[in-house]
Amino acid sequence: MDIHEYQAKEILNKHGIKTLGSILCHSPEEVYRAYQTLLSPIVVVKAQVHAGGRGKGGGVKIAKSGDEARSIAEKMLGMTLVTAQTGKEGKIVRKVLVESGAQISKEFYLSLTVDRKNAAVAFVVSAEGGMEIEEVSKSHPEKILTISIKPFHGLRSHHVLKILLFLGLDKTFLGDLSGLLFHLYDAFIREDMSMLEINPLILTSSNEFIPLDAKIILDDNSIFRHPYFNDYIDEGEENPLEVKAKNAGLNYIKLDGNVGCMVNGAGLAMATMDTIKEFGASPANFLDVGGTADSKRVETAFNILLSDKKVKGIFINIFGGIVKCDMVAEGVVTAAKNIGLTLPVVVRLEGTNAEEAARLIENSGMNFIVGRSLADGAKKISEIVKK
Amino acid sequence: MDIHEYQAKEILNKHGIKTLGSILCHSPEEVYRAYQTLLSPIVVVKAQVHAGGRGKGGGVKIAKSGDEARSIAEKMLGMTLVTAQTGKEGKIVRKVLVESGAQISKEFYLSLTVDRKNAAVAFVVSAEGGMEIEEVSKSHPEKILTISIKPFHGLRSHHVLKILLFLGLDKTFLGDLSGLLFHLYDAFIREDMSMLEINPLILTSSNEFIPLDAKIILDDNSIFRHPYFNDYIDEGEENPLEVKAKNAGLNYIKLDGNVGCMVNGAGLAMATMDTIKEFGASPANFLDVGGTADSKRVETAFNILLSDKKVKGIFINIFGGIVKCDMVAEGVVTAAKNIGLTLPVVVRLEGTNAEEAARLIENSGMNFIVGRSLADGAKKISEIVKK
Amino acid sequence: MSILVNKNTNVLVQGITGKEGSFHATKCLEYGTKIVAGVTPFKGGSRFNNSVPVYNTIDEAKKTHRIDATMVFVPAGFAASGIIEAIEAEIPLIVCITEGIPVMDMLNVKAALNSSNSIMIGPNCPGVITADECKIGIMPGFIHKKGKIGVLSRSGTLTYEAVDQLTKAGLGETTCIGIGGDPIIGTPFIPLLKMFEDDPETSAVVMIGEIGGTAEEEASEFIKKNMKKPVIGFIAGKTAPEGKRMGHAGAIISGGKGTASDKLKTLEKNGVYIADNPSVIGDTAKKALKLS
Amino acid sequence: MSILVNKNTNVLVQGITGKEGSFHATKCLEYGTKIVAGVTPFKGGSRFNNSVPVYNTIDEAKKTHRIDATMVFVPAGFAASGIIEAIEAEIPLIVCITEGIPVMDMLNVKAALNSSNSIMIGPNCPGVITADECKIGIMPGFIHKKGKIGVLSRSGTLTYEAVDQLTKAGLGETTCIGIGGDPIIGTPFIPLLKMFEDDPETSAVVMIGEIGGTAEEEASEFIKKNMKKPVIGFIAGKTAPEGKRMGHAGAIISGGKGTASDKLKTLEKNGVYIADNPSVIGDTAKKALKLS
């Protein structure tokens, strides 16, 4: 799960990593007062949204007075911030972080991620701080160092040394860098993070390492041992349909197309989207209804699909494994009737009792078309929505 | 390094493990006041010495009043406590721990050790609490469960379950036992222990797990990351000669025989002791002078050997590897002259320049005899001391 | 022949009395799987379905039974413990169905596996099946038919789709393995590809991948260097957007890495027969085997 | 032939500029060891003895040199890091001389070794030497002479004692290995016994043990089952008291376990030729080889 910069910094602080003084604000007045409180001649006002690249989009501004800070906040709060990571629709700025300024002597990039290939935690560092790391990795891969730490090796002093040397720092920084890296590594593991990105990590003119920005992604699966994750959920940052689906236990991701998809299983759902695209239409969503496609669940799924006004037709693709297809067909028909569905729907049911299911669909009296295979179904729905 | 029970309990408390209320006392008056302070009708007065088996030796007594506690302390403080672990000479009791009483519903044995074979931390548990575990392991090995926890496996809930079932405890104790075991495991690793023994671990009548006794051995080698170990050193508990040797950087262990041994290397030192024994004499000590047997070091070693009044002769056995034997011989002669050594000394020097060394020893004018091999030297010194 | 499991495999079920565990253990028994014992803490001494003995721990079960494989249905929060219990009990094959195990737990599990002789399939997978012999998992048994294709997949229902086609195409399967949809899994494609290459009954392998990570690319390099048998590849997620987890915890394109098109390019370069869409997996297999 | 090291072994020295490291690196060079590089943090770019290039990290050294083995003189507090650096750099043989590494660090190192292809000898050991070819360690080279006996030992100078006798007895040595006196060591007797059994030049093995642990007992069981070559055993510490560490961290009798007499009994039972005292190791070897 994504969290805000200010929350990420709270976690870092908890693990002994110092950040600059900052105050979270919800109104221009609070921002004005924050300027006074921080006692820093220069402050930075930063939009708190679940997306990176805020600077380019106008979500990070410097203020040299309380008035200036307030007037920045007046524009920033409520604006729709569009960055490389928000998508076209952007994100509405609901709160800002006002942070003290710092005298920057150097900027670095530093992140921790899960290294899938080596089953390890990887440090990624670069002396090119503040840049987008994807760009650096494409244009100058030699400027990035990745060090994988296997769990039974642990972070060790030779790892710190390698990072120090790669960043071009001298011996005198070894102790401080070591402290920072050990705290970060510990925080990453203990808080079950999927990603921790500090960009830039700055070295101040007084030779302190400070994370100027911090982005953390937490591993939702570990929420059972970190109840505080619940406090960090900010539904306002997510797509409302995705939130609704999640609360109903459905796995839904909104896309830009016009064919609503309802599939059981994540892999099959992706494959279904891909096949629709192959036939010239475009999927409106990813939706995995899971293993139990009963009428209640299907009804909720229909409602979510229909909330997306772009949707012109629906493709239901279920491979009935343990679940019997005729049961699913009944559920689909009942749900469609309950909500008075009028959109064209192509239904493909494969697996146990697929024939009986097809008959039920055909005889339902609804606007249902039977797909005989994944390709056949995808083709039929694509032709319909392209009309 | 060995530490006292009260220190072991301090460490356990630091790691969230509850122990009974207790007060460390150095005088009968303090013990009297401790009784009043603890507000427990029954207290236990326990001698604080670096040795187990105190109960049998009279080092653990129950008191039901302040007066009784004081009179127990009067006898206990200053006494020489002899237990199975102290050796014949016993240990002088210099302080006692006064601890609140508890209502015991069950007693268990629980310890953590390093499992050399599996390179793991091992839990050893038994429902036979309060017994000497060595005896149980000989007479009823089936009453002991050993579970090895490899570092990359970690302590897991199935380990706790196995221990719970083995101890004959029901489901309701799972949470509390789990908490205790995780704290102990964490403490063992974080504090670099070699041994942590709780005997007995009690279950109180209010169903709390409490370590009634606690014995911890810390890994001296880790002192660089645990400066507090220094505060736990109690030289009064060690043999004064061993303390003196240690402070001089020598590895010395006092034994009961009359042949003083000075050897370079621990394995060779043991082999030398064994060979002396084979020739019918008995080693007075283990002493490894280490790699640099210069005159200063040899002099210190001589002084320590001579402080043991039982010593009737000295066997110096040096395998000069990197170090040259003639240099060692010179060192030995100089040191012996400096301290005016009169005891018979057999010197065996093997390795580089062994012949020159033998000549130097023979021509030294001292009471020195050359040993031509380990066996020859051991034989000669044994014959001398047996006269 | 087949790989990993066959009709002689003695199977344990961890979490046999739970909702999922009991449902699927029953289905597996119906398929003919030799489930010899189950484990659920504090349920030791009882019998599952009036027949399969239940124990508190694997150690207890091992006193009476030879166990070749275990099917793990332990809830996510305790799954790492259950898997490590199986590793410590030296169970040769561990099939973990459980979804939602934290990645940090899996890093430890993976380290434990590396120092053991156990093989783990999953987690977050449909399991392993050798057609007509042994099913350890949640896949529908009836779509499988003894034949000549080995199947490897990061997916669940998409695998059933492929198997269904292979069965209907008359090719049938030897062993079908869902390797799991999580970022860290017990066994990636390569060791299993090697087993299929060595299995005399397997003529070709279908490998179903998806976006995220680089497992398919690494597999294709192995295929190029070490495999004589044809491999048919499909990658799901051509239309998946960047930065979104597509259901599976491991199915995510991040930092522009792990896209379907990158994977397909590498697979093709390394001589894998590409199925352009899931409906042609069966046909592609036939073509690869020069049967059509 | 020999085991572990020979005249072609390219050696790195970690901690080459330290007091111990530089002294012994010089001695090894004098013996003829092919020391190709050294590592000391922040000393990269300099040269040791005006010849051996020094690097900051092993990775840097590996860019220029093939490295077959590393000799570790890193101080105890940093030794685990140094060893793990060598494991991560995939150095095949790691010889760690350092004494005083905390046991908890060694548990992690051992776990790291288990998942790697590196072999570690030590820590707290004199090192490894193949007579007249390659010395990686602190033993006096001149006492060694090419011959037919393999030597394994938990000790230092006691090993020299044994080697000296073997050389003077005209038997000579193939490879001599101090496995280390700590409770947790990289490689116990068994894998090395196996290598000696497979080495055509080795005719017999001298195994020098001491009190503490059960490594000798386990080794003797291996010897009985798997070795045709005679093994001569000596155990130091018959007169050692219980509960005291005899110099080596691993040399301690605790809870009545790890005594010399127990070990000797088991060794004898398993067909090891026992040398009753260290002075007869050479003679016992001759007898075992039917040379006297």
- Residue pLDDT, tens place only, D130-140: 999 999 999 99
pLDDT above 80 (res B321): no
For C189, residues 6+ apart whose C-beta sits below 8 A from its C-beta are: C152, C179, C207, C209, C215, C216, C218, C219, C222
Question: Are the Cβ atoms of A152 and D42 closer than 8 angstroms?
Answer: no
Which parts of B54-138 are beta strand (E)?
60-63, 80-81, 91-92, 96-100, 104-115, 120-126
pLDDT above 90: percentage of residues in chain A: 75
Q: Helix, strand or coil for residue B337? A: helix
Contacts of A151 in chain B (CB under 8 A): 152
The residue of chain B nearest to residue D241, with distances taken between CA atoms, is: B255
* Sign of the torsion angle spanned by Cα atoms B141, B144, B149, B153: positive
Let me know if residue C129 belongs to a domain: no
Tokens 């394995």, located at residue: B267
Question: For residue D190, how many other CB atoms are within 10 A of its CB?
Answer: 16
Q: Which of C109, C115, C117, C118 to mutate to test the interface with D (most CBs of D within 10 A)?
A: C115
The whole-chain average pLDDT of chain C stands at: 95
Q: What is the distance in angstroms between the Cα of C165 and the nearest Cα belonging to chain A?
A: 10
The secondary element (H helix, E strand) that includes residue B27 is none
b/e per residue B356-366 (b: at least 16 CB within 10 A) = bbbebbeebeb
Distance, CA of C216 to CA of C218 (rounded, Å): 5
Contacts of B274 in chain D (CB under 8 A): 236-239, 260, 277-278
The helix-helix angle for D157-168 and D281-288 (nearest 10°) equals 50
Q: Flag whether the ipTM exceeds 0.90.
A: yes
Class at the top of the CATH hierarchy for domain A21-101: alpha beta
Chains that touch C (3 or more CB pairs under 8 A): A, B, D
Using left for φ > 0, alpha for ψ between -120 and 50, and beta otherwise, residue A332 falls in alpha
Least confident range from A178-182, A287-291, C126-130, D156-160: namely: A287-291
Average pLDDT over residues D28-39: 97
pLDDT of residue B55: 87
Residue C154 sits in a domain of what CATH number?
3.40.50.261
Distance, CA of C55 to CA of C46 (rounded, Å): 8
Return the half-sphere exposure (C-beta side, CA atoms, 13 A cut-off) of residue A358: 14
Q: How far is CA D164 from CA B270, D204, D282, in A?
A: 18, 16, 9
Tokens 């840049």, located at residue: A131
Average pLDDT over residues C42-47: 96
Say if residue D107 is in the same domain as residue D236.
Answer: no
Question: Are the Cβ atoms of B274 and D236 closer than 8 angstroms?
Answer: yes
| C-beta of residue B41 within 8 angstroms of C-beta of residue B14 | no
Q: Which of A149, A152, A182 to mutate to test the interface with B (most CBs of B within 10 A)?
A: A152
Question: Are the Cβ atoms of C112 and B162 closer than 8 angstroms?
Answer: no
- Does A224 reach chain B within 8 Å, measured CB to CB? no
pLDDT of residue B293: 67
Q: Which tokens is B361 given?
A: 């020893």
Q: CATH number of A239-385: 3.40.1390.30, 3.40.50.261, 3.30.70.1450, 3.30.565.10?
A: 3.40.50.261
B80-81 and B60-63 beta bridge pairing? unpaired
Q: Which of A83, A217, A274, A327 to mutate to test the interface with C (most CBs of C within 10 A)?
A: A274
Say if residue D113 is in the same domain as residue D167.
Answer: no
pLDDT category at C28 given cuts 50, 70, 90 is very high
The residue of chain B nearest to residue C104, with distances taken between CA atoms, is: B152
Contacts of B151 in chain A (CB under 8 A): 152
The whole-chain average pLDDT of chain A stands at: 93
Return the half-sphere exposure (C-beta side, CA atoms, 13 A cut-off) of residue B9: 21
pLDDT digits (tens, 9 = 90+) for A171-193: 999 999 999 999 999 999 999 99
Distance, CA of A156 to CA of A178 (rounded, Å): 9
pLDDT above 90 (res D113): yes
pLDDT above 90 (res A85): no
The residue of chain D nearest to residue B324, with distances taken between CA atoms, is: D140
Question: Are the Cβ atoms of B153 and C108 closer than 8 angstroms?
Answer: yes
Average pLDDT over residues A256-270: 94
Q: What is the distance in angstroms between the Cα of A377 and the nearest Cα belonging to chain C?
A: 11
Say if residue C170 is in the same domain as residue C75.
Answer: no
Distance, CA of C205 to CA of C229 (rounded, Å): 7
pLDDT digits (tens, 9 = 90+) for B60-72: 999 999 999 999 9
Say if residue D174 is in the same domain as residue D115.
Answer: no
Distance, CA of B274 to CA of B169 (rounded, Å): 48
b/e per residue A178-207 (b: at least 16 CB within 10 A) = bebbbbbbebbbebbbbbbbbbbbbbeeee
pLDDT above 90 (res B218): yes
pLDDT above 90 (res C133): yes
Q: Which tokens is C75 given?
A: 């809830």
Question: Are the Cβ atoms of C85 and B156 closer than 8 angstroms?
Answer: yes
Domain residues for the domain of D151 are 139-288
User: Which is the catalytic residue, given B6, B32, B35, B109?
Assistant: B109
pLDDT above 70 (res C197): yes
For C260, residues 6+ apart whose C-beta sits below 8 A from its C-beta are: A274, C210, C211, C235, C236, C237, C238, C240
pLDDT above 70 (res A147): yes
Q: What is the distance in angstroms between the Cα of B27 and the nearest Cα belonging to chain A?
A: 43
pLDDT digits (tens, 9 = 90+) for D209-235: 999 999 999 999 999 999 999 999 999
C113: amino acid identity, one letter: L
pLDDT above 80 (res D6): yes
Say if residue D95 is in the same domain as residue D147.
Answer: no
Q: Which of A146, A157, A158 to mutate to test the interface with D (most CBs of D within 10 A)?
A: A158
Say if residue D283 is in the same domain as residue D196.
Answer: yes
The secondary element (H helix, E strand) that includes residue C140 is none
pLDDT category at C290 given cuts 50, 70, 90 is confident
Binding-face residues of A in 166-185 toward D, CB within 8 A: 171
pLDDT of residue C267: 97
Say if residue C115 is in the same domain as residue C89.
Answer: yes
Distance, CA of B316 to CA of B339 (rounded, Å): 16
Q: What is the distance in angstroms between the Cα of D225 and the nearest Cα belonging to chain C?
A: 22
Let me know if residue D200 belongs to a domain: yes
Contacts of D114 in chain C (CB under 8 A): 114-115
Say if residue D148 is in the same domain as residue D284.
Answer: yes
The whole-chain average pLDDT of chain D stands at: 95
Distance, CA of B286 to CA of B244 (rounded, Å): 14
Higher pLDDT, A239 or D267: D267
Q: Which tokens is A374 given?
A: 């994944």
pLDDT of residue B387: 80
Q: CATH number of B1-20+103-238: 3.90.190.10, 3.90.1560.10, 3.30.1160.10, 3.30.470.20?
A: 3.30.470.20
Question: For residue C139, how many other CB atoms are within 10 A of its CB?
Answer: 26
Average pLDDT over residues D1-27: 95
pLDDT of residue C144: 96
Say if residue C197 is in the same domain as residue C233.
Answer: yes
Contacts of D143 in chain B (CB under 8 A): 321, 351
**CA proximity to D137, closest of D151, D123, D150:** D123
- Does C117 reach chain D within 8 Å, measured CB to CB? no
User: Which is the catalytic residue, given D24, D65, D144, D248?
Assistant: D248
What A237-243 contacts at long range (C-beta under 8 Å, 24+ apart), as own/partner pairs, is A237/A2, A237/A49, A237/A50, A237/A91, A238/A50, A241/A304, A241/A307, A241/A308
Angle at A220 between CA A217 and CA A225, to 5 degrees: 110
Let me know if residue D4 belongs to a domain: no
| C-beta of residue B49 within 8 angstroms of C-beta of residue B86 | yes
Q: What is the distance in angstroms between the Cα of B70 and the nearest Cα belonging to chain D?
A: 34
Which parts of B205-312 are beta strand (E)?
209-211, 215-218, 251-254, 259-263, 285-288
Contacts of A157 in chain D (CB under 8 A): 78, 81
Q: What is the distance in angstroms between the Cα of A219 and the nearest Cα belonging to chain B?
A: 20
Which one of A153, A161, A162 has the shortest CB-CB distance to D84?
A153
Contacts of C87 in chain B (CB under 8 A): 153
Q: How far is CA C24 from CA A322, C7, C35, C94, D142, in A?
A: 9, 18, 11, 16, 70
Tally of structural domains, chain D: 2
Tokens 């793991």, located at residue: B120
Distance, CA of A268 to CA of A319 (rounded, Å): 9
Let me know if residue D186 belongs to a domain: yes
Say if residue D179 is in the same domain as residue D45.
Answer: no
Which parts of chain D are beta strand (E)?
10-14, 34-39, 47-48, 52-55, 69-72, 93-96, 119-121, 127-130, 134-137, 146-153, 173-178, 204-210, 231-236, 273-274
A105: amino acid identity, one letter: S
Q: Which tokens is B168 given?
A: 């004959």
Which parts of chain C are beta strand (E)?
10-14, 34-39, 47-48, 52-55, 69-72, 93-96, 119-121, 127-130, 134-137, 146-153, 173-178, 204-210, 231-236, 273-274
Q: What is the distance in angstroms between the Cα of D200 and the nearest Cα belonging to chain B?
A: 29
Question: Are the Cβ atoms of D57 and A157 closer than 8 angstroms?
Answer: no
pLDDT category at A135 given cuts 50, 70, 90 is confident
pLDDT of residue A83: 86
Question: Are the Cβ atoms of C84 and B157 closer than 8 angstroms?
Answer: no
Let me know if residue D132 belongs to a domain: no
pLDDT above 90 (res A270): yes
| C-beta of residue D37 within 8 angstroms of C-beta of residue D65 | yes
Can A109 be counted among the known catalytic residues?
A: yes
**CA proximity to C33, closest of C51, C55, C58:** C51
C212: amino acid identity, one letter: G
Distance, CA of B159 to CA of D221 (rounded, Å): 30
Question: Are the Cβ atoms of B150 and C57 closer than 8 angstroms?
Answer: no
pLDDT category at A293 given cuts 50, 70, 90 is low
Which one of C103, C161, C211 has the shortest CB-CB distance to A319?
C161
pLDDT above 90 (res A52): no
Say if residue D117 is in the same domain as residue D145.
Answer: no
pLDDT digits (tens, 9 = 90+) for D238-281: 999 988 899 898 999 888 889 999 999 999 999 999 999 899 99
pLDDT above 90 (res D178): yes
pLDDT category at B367 given cuts 50, 70, 90 is confident
A219: amino acid identity, one letter: D
Let me know if residue C219 belongs to a domain: yes
The residue among C121, C151, C175 that closes a domain is C121
Distance, CA of C17 to CA of B297 (rounded, Å): 70
Question: Are the Cβ atoms of D157 and B267 closer than 8 angstroms?
Answer: yes
Residue ranges per structural domain of chain B? 1-20+103-238, 21-101, 239-385
pLDDT digits (tens, 9 = 90+) for C212-258: 999 999 999 999 999 999 999 999 999 999 888 998 989 998 888 89
For C221, residues 6+ apart whose C-beta sits below 8 A from its C-beta are: C266, C270
Least confident range from A318-332, B1-15, B269-283, D99-113: namely: A318-332
**CA proximity to A373, closest of B97, C283, C151, D100:** C283
Say if residue C186 is in the same domain as residue C111.
Answer: no
pLDDT of residue B228: 96
Q: Helix, strand or coil for residue C104? A: helix
pLDDT above 80 (res B291): no
pLDDT category at B287 given cuts 50, 70, 90 is very high
Q: Helix, strand or coil for residue C34? A: strand
Let me know if residue D46 belongs to a domain: yes
